[in-house]
Amino acid sequence: SRLSPAEAHDIMRQRLGRMAGQWNLIAADIHRLTRRMRTVSYAPGEVILPRGVRGDCLGLVVRGQVAVHVGARGATRLVVILLPGSTFGEMMLAEGQASNAGLQALTHCEIRFLRRADLYALRDEKKRARQTATLWRLIGAAAVMLLAVLALMLTLVLPESREALAVVPMSIGQWCADQEHDTCTWQAWQVAKNLAPEDPNPQLALGTFYWERKDAESAAEAFEKALSLAPDLPEAYNNLGLIYAHQGRHEDAIAAFRRALELEPGIAATEHNLGASLQAIQNYDEAVAHYQTSMALSGPQVGTLLNMAIAYYEAGQPEDAESLANEALRLVPDLAPAHTVLGAVALEVEQPEVALSELQRAVDLDDGYGQAYFYLGLAYKSLNQPAEAIAAFEEALVHATDEVTRTRIRRHLTELYTE
């Protein structure tokens, strides 16, 4: 047998958890260390670790069997056989101790190793990160102090001068945003907003800042303020449309996207956004038309192709849905939504075995994609495998995001439970 990546990760998380205090490790550090482990293959009879070597590694048997021998040369004896999931060398990794046993591959083996050097490298990275964070805090504080002084000085000059000088904090905020320093970004754009209260640009910048951090309420407030200052800003309407769509207010979103396109036609992203909200209210024909316009403007986009495929499937056009899903896979192989569409289409034409293969591929690619589990449940149900169907529907219920979908899933589960 061979350990799956998830099993190997879980075992290493437990082993490294024992050393968390010694090396000041947090959960994220342990995850990074497990990703840095290197796999080495050994042939039968090959020595993995000689006795007495001062090692610096922790090993995890992923595949095969490893013999552990103790005793002096010429008088060794086998004491244990390590199987997949076994580890060795914990004290070598933690304290650099010499090995008190010899390890030899009995079969073809794969061993994943974590070296002491990896721990040192992580420690150094964290030290540099702390130093960098401290430096940026100092730079941010200095910048904010400078901006505060500028703001105080500008209260004594004309409003026109204040608006002109607002370019300075806007530029500082953009630089901080590029460097992903949130506090510096927010403070600089707040200063710009206060310096130029009639300028919509700081409001647009702040709205985008809030939206990227999932603060939809603050983002909407900033975009609405920008529109109150300049009613013909297409980007503000588009961004408000995204917020409305996220909140499920698709009629409001459609109105916002349409207004954005009236003010600035020919924007592929806005055409796509409008199509998505039209699709959400089941206006499939118009949704597809806007998706096609989006692709005519910017060329084939995987997200647009997938949305079109789903729209065609929901509109009862499985052949078109299948064609677009395959086109998306030609652009980017291994897309869970595309395999889900292909599985749903196979179910539609009564090919549950084909559907099962596609849908299993989808959940293997993305174990959090609820739609794949829903159709997987339907496939198992068609193949008269109720236990597997129940497991798939229960997983789909975990990932469902709206009550309509939950109701559909519960209906299938109720039917299966009572059989």
CB 194 within 8 A of CB 162: no
Q: How many residues does the chain have?
A: 419
* Dihedral-angle region of residue 248 (phi above 0 means left; psi in -120 to 50 means alpha; beta otherwise): left
Tokens of 18: 């024992």
Neighbouring C-alpha atoms within 13 Å toward the C-beta of 241: 26
User: CB under 8 Å to 162, separation ≥6 — which residues?
Assistant: 154, 155, 195, 196
pLDDT of residue 141: 65
pLDDT of residue 145: 63
**24: buried, middle or exposed (CB in 10 Å: 19+, 13-18, 0-12)?**
exposed
pLDDT of residue 180: 77
Pairing assessment for the beta strands 77-82 and 102-105 based on DSSP bridges? unpaired
CB 301 within 8 A of CB 295: yes
Residue 276 CA to residue 197 CA, distance in Å, equals: 34
**How many angstroms from the chain centroid is the CA of residue 247?**
21
User: CB under 8 Å to 202, separation ≥6 — which residues?
Assistant: 166, 170, 189, 190, 192, 193, 196
**316: buried, middle or exposed (CB in 10 Å: 19+, 13-18, 0-12)?**
exposed
10-residue mean pLDDT profile of the chain (419 residues): values are: 82 79 77 85 90 80 90 76 86 74 91 86 82 74 62 51 60 78 81 81 87 89 90 90 91 93 88 92 91 83 88 90 90 87 91 90 86 89 89 86 82 83
Could you tell me the end-to-end alpha-carbon distance of the chain, in angstroms, rounded to an integer? 36
pLDDT of residue 158: 45
CB 328 within 8 A of CB 339: no
**How many angstroms from the chain centroid is the CA of residue 148?**
38
For residue 130, what are the CA distances in angstroms to 29, 123, 125? 14, 11, 9
3-state class (DSSP) for residue 196: coil
Residue 324 CA to residue 415 CA, distance in Å, equals: 33
Residue 23 CA to residue 125 CA, distance in Å, equals: 13
